[in-house]
Amino acid sequence: MSPSPIRVGLVGVTGYTGMELTRLLLAHPSFRLAVVTSRQEAGQSLSALYPFLQGFPAGDLVVAAPEAATLAAACDLVFLAVPHGAAMGLAAELLAGGCKVVDLSADFRLRDRAVYEKWYGIGHTQAEALAEAVYGLPELYAEAIARARLVANPGCYPTASILGLYPALAQDLIIPEDIIIDAKSGVSGAGRGPAVTSLFCEVQDTFRAYNLGAHRHTPEIEQELSAIAGRPLAVSFTTHLLPVNRGILATIYTRLKDPALPFERIRDAYAASYADHPFVRLLPAGKLPEIRFVRGTFFCDIALVPDPRTGRLIILSAIDNLCRGASGQAVANANLQCGLPPGTGLLQAALVP
């Protein structure tokens, strides 16, 4: 007899991360989508909302308003794909109702409540849940995630940046105080809400930087890199908008502690760090990552380029911002919470061309 499916709920089905979660959950061998919610679209069927779901059993699900009691009664685990500020109260109610939670917002990513309130401009009302939350990067925290009731799903830029830097910092190969992260994202990273800056004519055939020195993912990146380095550190983090739908490419400039360190030693450190993590792919020497080769996948592609002339190690990290940087990572975290291998339901080839 096959085990009973794990019942999952999705709060915020109408955003890009909710849409991507729906796509991934429909093909998951152990999860069954039991409840989907949206305040604005309540009463519609999923297939009416998303015609590409016609013919799927979950397409008959009727979108409901998000009510914690209903979700807790019908679900074993709930994904919260809602904006920051909207998740914290609902997460606490779901935990009290016996549900496990994966929160895709920023509400539980920053361990320091004051840092959250400074960068997001709102008060954090759930100190107890915040103290309980585990940061959901499986390559670093799999054991803690497996024991967690509440997982804070990482941001997309932090995922690409932390995975790119982790081995170099953990193996003490680079100077922690000299890190520059130059990152570019597809437009879906801005969310699905209407905004002039995301209109086709404002994005197509151009390339621009934004939020320099003020991007809200900065403290999240610094929090995790500081934990790896074992001391507080600050990074230069610059963000740019690419005229593409999805994908992130981070070019990370670091300075080697020993400029004469053989490249093979650096590469061996990365290979050893990710030997048990097949969804981080260390590319062969001379190959550079492209966002098209990770589109729609859970993979993170990393390349290392030593620059002996400047003593720098250049790290390139490419992910799909919606899958690896949000919804796919949420599924991996839910897998761990439910006793499944993290990659369950996530082994997919890239959507090319």
Q: Is 99 a catalytic residue?
A: no
Cβ–Cβ under 8 Å, residues 91 and 103: yes
What tokens does 4 get?
Answer: 């009973």
Calculate Rg over the CA atoms of the chain.
20
What CA–CA distance (Å, rounded) separates 149 from 56?
Answer: 30
Catalytic hit among 156, 201, 300, 323: 156
Cα 192-81-76 angle, rounded to 5 deg: 150
Torsion sign over Cα 74, 33, 109, 187: negative
Q: What is the DSSP letter of 265?
A: H
- Which residue(s) pair with 209 in the sheet? 240
Alpha-carbon distance values, 136 to 43, 268, 302 (Å): 32, 26, 20
Contact between 223 and 237 under an 8 Å Cβ cutoff? The reply is no
Check the CA dihedral 144-107-331-138 and report its sign. Answer: negative
Catalytic residue numbers, as ranges: 156
